[in-house]
Structure 1
């Protein structure tokens, strides 16, 4: 387990699959996430889970609260390039009522600490849909990530196009934020 202040990241277990399947089919949840969402079967969720076992370049976890253990989302480090020390990071919080309570910040800080201090990575990349102000405020405003570019009209949501905001953080950017753990 990878422990934060309020959350821990742990491996996805078979018992998590019904909840992850429900989230995978939640249109409102996916409105603010990248990629394309198609309704998926529980069988496809199981197949995805089976592929996690042998995938060293992609680490996926569930986010579990420490206070009263419950799964509240997922986080990842994917497309890990061990030679260059870079990876892509993404996160999703499922229950709407838990947003804005510090779990997202603790998750991002925990992933950065693990990536930089344990894995020895140099930088993390991510992207945010232009209209997702909460994610932008979290990553850029609270967690030290920098906006590094935009791809105009990349995402199509709700009948219109939104920019894809490219963000990144280096181990050097993270160092001044380590006081979070004090």
Structure 2
């Protein structure tokens, strides 16, 4: 089953996607926005990641596709807690030109609909660097709220950076789509 947005499709990760994903992981421009530590990823490491992905019941990762450009990124649910009905979420778009077209918004909205309507989860969690204007804009538009800030939490680019802790509840999502009629 593919997950449909207004104009994106979220689908399972296939072996054919590994090169695009590896290119994203090795993109130094993108790395500055990634929370955590990144190392160059080899083809073998990427393949091993894919093999582990196939059997991971606590993570779901989906390729973001558009009709015109094909695979353009990845959206994730990780650390799924089936008892407390929560998960962490992330997104990466492979090409800068795709970062202002509404692709991220549609992918996040589609993932939230799937998460809350199909999986029955209650909340999604995330984090971004406090100075990441693009992430703030995307997630605010999608109904997410900043729930706190971890001051000087991540060492990146030779300095400590604040990390915004964010989340969205199913009720936030339903209020948003009632207000903005996203799926009408």
TM range (shorter): over 0.9
Cα distance between partner residues in 2 of 1:130 and 1:156: 13
- Equivalent residue number for residue 20 of structure 1: 21
What root-mean-square deviation, in Å, do the aligned CA atoms of Structure 1 and Structure 2 show?
1.0
Is residue 20–residue 94 contact of structure 2 (8 Å, CA) maintained in 1? no
Q: What secondary structure does 1:38 align onto? A: coil
Cα distance between partner residues in 2 of 1:98 and 1:14: 22
Cα distance between partner residues in 2 of 1:99 and 1:40: 23
Please, which runs of 5 or more residues in structure 1 have no aligned partner? none
- Equivalent residue number for residue 92 of structure 2: 92
Cα distance between partner residues in 1 of 2:152 and 2:5: 35
- Equivalent residue number for residue 72 of structure 1: 72
Aligned length: 180
Q: Any idea what the Cα deviations from partners look like across 1:66-92, whole Å, max 9, x if unmatched? A: x32511111111111111110000001
Cα distance between partner residues in 1 of 2:69 and 2:42: 27
- Equivalent residue number for residue 162 of structure 1: 161
Moved over 3 A (4+): none
1:157, distance to aligned residue in structure 2 (A):
2.4
TM-score, normalised with respect to structure 2? 0.95
TM-score, normalised with respect to structure 1? 0.96
Q: What secondary structure does 1:180 align onto? A: coil
Cα distance between partner residues in 2 of 1:120 and 1:25: 34
Please, which runs of 5 or more residues in structure 2 have no aligned partner? none
- Equivalent residue number for residue 39 of structure 2: 38
- Equivalent residue number for residue 136 of structure 1: 136
Cα distance between partner residues in 1 of 2:121 and 2:146: 19
Q: What secondary structure does 2:182 align onto? A: helix
Matches within 5 A, 1:103-118: 103-118=103-118
